[in-house]
Structure 1
């Protein structure tokens, strides 16, 4: 049996019912991410891969995509 997943969002996302946020949780040693507007779609990754991605975002590695 899998433990329940407790989703967390940034305090910058606004009120609890705000539909404009990315939510994070941990489950089975993975980082889980979902968009609050589509909560059934979940991305799972490792802590190391998420860290690498965030460092790339902060460094501007993906700026050409927007």
Structure 2
């Protein structure tokens, strides 16, 4: 539901015409989850994220040399 712009405005290359906005408002007002695959309800978990900490082992140079042994 957009129209390509004749000339890009920065990184924006698409615009909503008044007819597109009217369609979106009507879809929002008369919401139906099975409405022609144009509107859908997502559970809140869909927009969440998990923070995962990756701990890497400490990498040291382990070499047995005469200087290190002394």
Q: TM-score by structure 2 length?
A: 0.28
Q: Which structure: larger Rg?
A: 2
Identify the structure with the greater strand proportion.
1
Greater length-normalized contact order (CA 8 Å, ≥ 6 residues apart) = 1
TM-score of the pair, normalised by structure 1: 0.29
